[in-house]
Amino acid sequence: MEKAKKNTALEAVVIGLKLLLICAVIAAIVSFVYAMTLDVYEGNLQKTKNEAIGRIFGKEGLVCEKIGETTVYTVAENGVHIGYCVESVGKGFGGDIQMMVGYTADGKIVAVEVIGHSETPGVGDKVVKNTEYLANYAGLDGELAIGTDVDKVAGASVSSRGIMAGVNAATKALQDALANGGAE
């Protein structure tokens, strides 16, 4: 009986070591693939951001420079400062809503461009894909409120609040960056 318990314990240890080895190999493969694709992923993400900035300002060939370690970019055309863009995130029903918010040089919103989301198709994405809804933010400035500055979309109130929260966070980030000497 004692020998059977030792064999069972030894078998359990061997199985555990095999599983550990399999997990280590899989982790190494995943890490390798991550390292190999990271530059491509970051390049695609930067391309998406640049395209969003171009759509926000309605121009191509804009030069964007990050202000320090912030999510705020200065935007220039032919060497002339025309505004700012801020990366921001709001919490929607399906998760994070990533966006770029464009501002004029004097801090008024030019446009809001959603660059990523996981909102429910046909429901929450009515907000993030609706350019008419997002256009309601143009020309506004300061701390905004649902119902006062911009209405929510029926059936997508969580997504509407997520966009609003992201825009307010972007405005705060811009104000903080400018207050810390990031103005041109």
In a domain, 124, yes or no: yes
In a domain, 13, yes or no: no
Q: What is the pLDDT of residue 1?
A: 55
The encoded tokens of residue 168 equal: 């307010």
Phi, psi of 72 (to 5 degrees): -105, 135
Q: What is the pLDDT along the chain (184 residues), one digit of tens a residue?
A: 566 667 788 888 999 999 999 999 999 999 999 999 888 888 888 788 888 888 899 888 888 888 888 889 999 998 899 999 999 999 988 889 999 999 999 999 999 999 888 887 877 777 877 788 899 999 999 999 988 999 888 888 888 999 999 999 999 999 999 888 765 4
Output the DSSP codes for 23-39.
HHHHHHHHHHHHHHHHH
Chain center to CA of 105: 23
Spatial CA neighbour of 57 closest among 127, 134, 109: 109
In a domain, 22, yes or no: no
In a domain, 24, yes or no: no
**For the chain, what is the domain count?**
1
In a domain, 37, yes or no: no
Chain center to CA of 155: 23
Q: pTM for the complete prediction?
A: 0.75
Q: What is the pLDDT of residue 50?
A: 82
CB 177 within 8 A of CB 68: yes
Domain range for 108:
54-182
In a domain, 76, yes or no: yes
In a domain, 81, yes or no: yes
Q: What is the pLDDT of residue 184?
A: 47
In a domain, 25, yes or no: no
Spatial CA neighbour of 171 closest among 115, 108, 122: 108
